[in-house]
Amino acid sequence: MEYISTRGKDGPLSFEDALLNGLARDGGLYLPTQWPCFSAAEIRAMRGQSYVKIAGQIMSRFTDGEVHEDQIAEIAADAYRGFTHKEIAPLKAMEQDIHVLELFYGPTIAFKDYAMQFLSRAFDTALSRQNRQAVILGATSGDTGSAALEAFRGREAVDVFILFPEGRVSPVQQKQMTSVRDAGVYAIAVKGDFDDCQALVKACFNDAAFRDKVGLSAVNSINWARLMPQIVYYFTSALALGAPDKPVAFSVPTGNFGNVFAGWVAMQMGLPVERFIVSSNRNDILTRFFEGGVMERRDVHPSLSPSMDIQVSSNFERLLFELLDRNGEAVAAAMQSFSETGRFSVEDKVLQSALQVFSGYCLDDAGTTAEIKRCFDTHNYLIDPHSAVGLAAARNARRTNLVAKDTPIISLACAHPAKFPDAVHNASGQMPELPDELADLMSRDEQMLTAPNDMAAVQKLVLEHRRG
């Protein structure tokens, strides 16, 4: 399988190069030259198999000719060994054929672990095979950072630097990052918001001299290999509810559009999906896009679901590439317009084709609080604010018949409620407890670096602290 860039000027290149490069050299995002596809019979045959086995089958389709299915399954087995639920990604039934997909059984109790634990091992394997060192630079609105630092701790070939917006992540999220004190893994508090952090990372990548000097790579969701492991739980959850003989719908709490794009890929691979509900908090750039076909950046507003406080959904570029019939030049023009004017738009027929599969939904903080309370009162079940946005969207889809009556709706629970204790407590009156493995988290020692919103300052920190 070969990879190309959404902007048409990089590739084709191998899986390993796409993995290690992260962001394409033309500023675009990598994706495979075509979508591999399973027949209904092949999908049916996955029923009853383990998560790890299914992971091997799905992901090896993207590494064809380079990494064998057994090797992928081996990496997956190692990656998910420490997860605290035997099913890895279990479903919990709610009312009206709505099912919560619990994605918080990894070490940092958010769904990012599902990708990052796999990615760190794939990275280490590829780098040591090439006898290389790398620096990973990433931006986080909270959960990516802790997942990355946790996944890469102790890996010799890689130094990791994660930028996070100072004061804009929850105390638990911050502690999860700063309590990783191994050599070569650093959290950097930046004076700015998440989009500033993301812009700094992009700027460092676009500085070719710096990029080559330190062997820069990315593990935020622009990295194709970050999306790939996320495809797996779309399959396993749909299989549990009758796929491929019955379609399902997904409600996905969304920031960077990475997770929901992984779901769309599952659909391209043959999984019958009726609809994706793209659920957002008050930062509603995607909702507005699905209403009018205009992607227009506004200010980022802090919300109860900080991992979705985003006005630039980087991974949307991958969908745009598909919607524009894989025309890299058209994507590059749209992205240039977006970076210069904060805006781009698509023709009505492009919007209409997106609306065949996607719907937007947004929910403010009051609605989020009400949903957490309702869910606890009705089901005696605590959900985190991000999951609440998704669940409210799923219930709205059911109420309005956006999804057919007999189609199950799977609502992704992207974080454990104890990751956002204040919001959950204020809404429900209950204080969610951290799982046993993390019970002493808040009393652990911290290590962190700080930087202004300035590329040169960030580069200086990287050069001072990297080991390679």
Ligand X SMILES: *Cc1c(COP(=O)(O)O)cnc(C)c1O
Q: Which residues bind ligand X (CB under 6 A)?
A: 110, 112, 143, 221, 253-259, 307-308, 386, 414-415
Q: Minimum Å distance from CB 134 to ligand X? A: 23
Q: Minimum Å distance from CB 42 to ligand X? A: 27
Q: How long, in residues, is the chain? A: 468
**Do the beta carbons of residue 207 and residue 176 sit within 8 Å?**
no
Nearer to ligand X, 63 or 223 (CB): 223
The neighbouring-strand residues paired with 217 are 136
**Do the beta carbons of residue 55 and residue 61 sit within 8 Å?**
no
- CA-CA distances (angstroms) from residue 49 to 52, 55, 99, 274? 8, 10, 20, 24
Active-site residue, 460 included: no
Task: Spell out a b/e string for 180-214, using b for 16 or more CB atoms within 10 Å of the CB, else e.
Answer: beeebbbbbbbebbbbbbbbbbbebbeeeebbeeb
Nearer to ligand X, 110 or 204 (CB): 110
Instruction: Give the H or E element holding residue 358.
Output: strand 358-362
Nearer to ligand X, 110 or 266 (CB): 110
Of the residues 9, 92, 112, 202, which is catalytic? Answer: 112
**Whole-angstrom distance, CA of residue 233 vs CA of residue 227:** 11
Nearer to ligand X, 57 or 259 (CB): 259
Residue labelled with tokens 């317009």 = 337
The neighbouring-strand residues paired with 160 are 136, 185
**Whole-angstrom distance, CA of residue 149 vs CA of residue 181:** 9
Instruction: Give the H or E element holding residue 163.
Output: strand 158-165
Q: Minimum Å distance from CB 186 to ligand X? A: 20
Nearer to ligand X, 211 or 386 (CB): 386
Q: Minimum Å distance from CB 220 to ligand X? A: 9
Q: Minimum Å distance from CB 451 to ligand X? A: 22
The residues that are catalytic are: 112
